[in-house]
Structure 1
Amino acid sequence: MIELRDVHKAFGANRVLRGVDLAVPGGSSMVIIGGSGSGKSVLLKCILGLVPPDAGKILLDDRDVAGIKVRRAERDAFLARFGMLFQGGALFDSLPVWQNVAFRLLRGALARPRDEAHAIAIDKLRRVGLSPDVADKLPAELSGGMQKRVGLARAIAAEPEIIFFDEPTTGLDPIMAGVINDLIREIVTEMGATAMTITHDMSSVRAIADRVAMLHAGRIQWTGPVGDLDHSGDPYVDQFVEGRATGPIEAVR
């Protein structure tokens, strides 16, 4: 469903992506691992069109998305196919929870009547384990784990075909991280969505992934089924998975 062919991206002299090749089958959950600064977030931003690649092709259903993004009439329809759970939650502090969840349903190409958007928000909050009485609270009144659930409810509110998860368990305790991982897996399976997740958390990788790709030095170092992760035969993957300070990946000191 998503394919990247020889994708490059540099910021000045910093070459972040150096020829990324990656295929994400429809209805699958792909998790991208790699060290800090390896370009994982830049990769997602390139797919969404927030950052234009310098070279290479990004295909969605065999269509080059570069052409879609420059044609304004098609851009909204293109973005409507995606949902996003941001690393820091990225909730709007001044809006009540339900309006955060229904943000895309209250404006633009996906706009619904206000009452309908409210009902959808309540339903999605229930789906992530939050009761309707949370709907009128402000994000600041919620715990970090509850805010993450609200972000997840917002990501699925418009029933997207593709969902991106950016470090979904960052800042959460192990129990809440497990809850979020289970919710993501259940929701992606129920919706039949195509998922791409970037994370450092190996427990998240094992809970969420169908396939795993490791991004290192601007390229895909290894990719394969999550079941092969512990015997990949790749020294870079082995070092990362086992969290060893010594190996081919140099630790930044």
Structure 2
Amino acid sequence: MIKLDNVYKSFGSNHVLRGVDLEIPRGESMVVIGGSGTGKSVTLKSVLGLVTPDSGTITLDGEDVTKAERDAFLARFGMLFQGGALFDSLTIWENVAFRLLRGSLKRPKAEAREIAIEKLRRVGLKPEVADQFPSELSGGMQKRVGLARAIAAEPEIIFFDEPTTGLDPIMSGVINELIREIVVEMGATAMTITHDMTSVRAIADKVAMLHEGVIQWTGPVSEMDTCGDPYVEQFIHGRAEGPIEAVR
């Protein structure tokens, strides 16, 4: 469904992507792992068309993402942002229904609110939360709201940017389970970027290891521990010694 072919992207002298090749089949959950600054977020933004590659191609169902009609293209995606990225001045239901209140996906206000409350229920939040503001919720609850917003418009593709950042281990486990359940339930294609190995094992069908702007290894999550790739082994076991140099 999503294909990156020899993608390069630099920002001045900073060569971030150096020939990324990656395929994400329809209905599968791909998790991209790698350390900070390895190009994970730039890869995600490139797929969304927010960053234009210097060379190489990125296609969605065979169509070049840089040439797609933007509204129709972006309507196919849902996104859970790393920091939640909720709008402080909007109520919870307005945050969840943000895309349903404007643009090509616009619904009547009452219908949008009803959908938002249903999605809040899906992520384990009670209807009375709907009229509260983000500042009144805990970090874990805010993350659930972000997940509800990501699925509100029934997207075909969902991106998760470090979905468990800032959460305690128990809440991280809850969010991972919710993500897995929802992706399977919706039949969505998912792309997650993370360095949390617990999330990887809970969410992934396939894993791709990104380091120094290239995919070092990709394969089923079941083969990750025995793949023999030195980059993957050092990363998943958190070893200081190996081909990945720690920034000191």
TM over 0.5: yes
Partner of 2:197 in structure 1? 202
Partner of 2:33: 33
Query: What is the rounded CA distance, in whole Å, between the counterparts of 1:232 and 1:203 in structure 2?
Result: 18
How far residue 49 of structure 1 moved from its aligned partner, in angstroms, is 1.0
Q: Which amino acid aligns with 2:64?
A: D
Report the alpha carbon displacement of residue 188 of structure 1 after superposing the two structures with TM: 0.1
Offset at 1:62? 1.1
Shift in Å at residue 159 of structure 1?
0.2
Match in the other structure for 1:71: none
Q: Where does the alignment leave 5 or more consecutive residues of structure 1 unmatched?
A: 69-73
Distance 2:61 2:186 in 1: 18
Does 1:190 pair with 2:153?
no
Structure-2 separation of matches of 1:183 and 1:112: 26
TM-score by length of 1: 0.98
Give the Å deviation of 1:66: 1.6
Q: What is the aligned residue count?
A: 248
Tell me the residue number matched to 1:130.
Answer: 125
Paired letter, 2:10: A
SS at the partner of 1:207? helix
Distance in 2 of aligned mates of 1:51 and 1:75: 13
1:63 CA drift (Å): 1.2
Aligned to 1:97: 92
> Of the candidates 227, 236, 241, which is equivalent to residue 222 of structure 2?
227
CA-to-partner distance for each residue in 1:112-144, whole Å, 9 max, x for gaps? Answer: 000000000000000000000000000000000
* Residue from 106, 109, 120 that aligns with 1:111: 106
Aligned to 2:54: 54
1:42 alignment counterpart: 42
Report how far residue 65 of structure 1 moved.
Answer: 1.4
Residue type of the alignment partner of 1:147: Q
Across the aligned residues of Structure 1 and Structure 2, the Cα RMSD in angstroms comes to 0.4
Please point out which of 127, 143, 153 is paired with 1:158: 153
- Find out whether 1:140 has 2:123 as its counterpart: no
2:46 counterpart letter in structure 1: C
CA deviations 1:45-87 (Å, max 9, x no partner) are: 001111111110001001111211xxxxx21010000000000
Structure 2 length normalisation: TM-score?
0.99
The DSSP-based 3-state class of the residue aligned with 1:172 is: coil
Instruction: Name the aligned partner's letter for residue 94 of structure 2.
Output: Q
1:171 alignment counterpart? 166
What SS does the corresponding residue of 1:35 show, helix, strand or coil?
Answer: coil
Question: Percent same amino acid at aligned positions?
Answer: 77
- Which runs of 5 or more structure 2 residues have no equivalent in the other structure? none
> Matches of 2:19 and 2:56 in 1, distance apart?
8
TM-superposed deviation, 1:217: 0.8
**1:230 counterpart letter in structure 2:** D
Give the 3-state SS of the residue equivalent to 1:233 in structure 2.
coil
Match of 2:84, SS? coil
The 4+ residue runs of structure 1 with deviation greater than 4 A are none
Three-state SS of the structure 1 residue aligned to 2:131 is coil
